[in-house]
Amino acid sequence: MTDVATAAGVSHMTVSRVLNGSARVSPGTRERVETALRQLGYRPNVAARALATGRSGQLAVVFFDTTLYGPASTLFAIEQAARREGYSVSILSLRQLDPTSMTDAVARLRAQAVDGTIIVAPYATAGPALAEVPEDLPAVVVGGAAGSGHVPAVALDQEAGARAATQHLLELGHRTVHHVAGPETWIDAGGRVRGWRAALAEAGATAPAPLTGDWSARSGYEAGRTLAADPTVTAIFVANDHMALGVLRALSEAGRPVPDDVSVVGFDDVPEAPYFPPALTTVRQDFDRVGRESVALLLRRVAGETGRDVIGVPTNLVVRASTGPHRP
């Protein structure tokens, strides 16, 4: 840091302020220091910083064993947001979220001396596990279990997204909307069911019995075959885009064109959604904002703030070619 200060013509303290992102540095001075950092190939000494500040500069994400789009996108967004704040991220992957697994995870986090942890917790069983997180460990929960326990939380508004999808189909003139739900063990799936039911109830429409899938295109295809065989089905809200892809395939095989005969809405807005045949109307989840909000909330906890914060992140409907007016 002394070499950088000499090269930039500033004090050692000014270099420290630039490295720590302080606003108390003019743009011109910051640029000179950053140029000197690049030219000299400066890299922070993590061990020295930890000794000086009492913090490791490392966050952890307690994750679970899945490659599903939503959780994987959440993990990526958290890692990117932490990196922008100057933190590295370690990932602790669990096969299941239960009290025993969480107790073991907390012990491992303490051994790693992380500054705090973000817990991605979409399962209905996560509540008892979150009770095992000690209050002296800065932590934030992300996902379906955001209303559980003492841990502050960030959660996407699943119910509002499902309500918007269902209302969109009803406004197109469909008398009711069928639903292909996600697994009952997922709180997000339950939120989407509640939003779907609420929209139907507000419109005075009958709620058909939902079919349940496992988030896979295969399970959507199987549910789609059942729905395609029923001539009264004209609108389907599917709990994620991969299952919606299976539904579209089943409808195509049954000779029921989308959207002329049946309208379909998904959930997630995966990158492939605009290229489905036809382009899929879906509910977009802002995973980037989830990452930013969860890291910012965690760093406030690391800094000593307390309170039971619950931050909601809105979703929004993206209308494409898979929905259209009902034609009796």
pLDDT along the chain (328 residues), means of 10: 90 81 82 90 60 66 83 92 89 82 86 89 81 87 69 92 98 98 93 97 98 97 98 98 98 98 98 97 96 94 83 95 94
Distance CA 169, CA 63 (A): 35
The values of phi and psi at residue 262, to 5°, are -135, 135
- Containing 313, the helix (H) or strand (E) segment is strand 310-313
Answer yes or no: CATH 3.40.50.2000 is held by domain 158-285.
no
Q: Do 2-43 and 158-285 agree at the fold level? A: no
- Contact criterion met (CB below 8 Å) for 83 and 89: yes
Domain boundaries, the chain: 2-43, 55-155+288-307, 158-285
pLDDT of residue 67: 80
Give the pLDDT of residue 8. 92
pLDDT at residue number 65: 64
Q: Is 2-43 assigned to CATH 3.40.630.30?
A: no
C-alpha distances in Å from residue 4, one per residue of 13, 49, 201: 11, 17, 65
Sorted by sequence, the CB contacts under 8 Å of residue 2 that are 6+ apart come out as: 12
Collapsing DSSP to helix, strand or coil, 307 comes out as: coil
Domain 55-155+288-307 falls under CATH 3.40.50.2300? yes
Cβ contact 159:195 at 8 Å: yes
* Cα–Cα dist 255/280, whole Å: 18
pLDDT at 47: 45
What single letter denotes the amino acid at residue 139? A
> Do 319 and 283 form a contact (C-beta atoms < 8 A)?
no
- Cβ count within 10 A of residue 303: 11
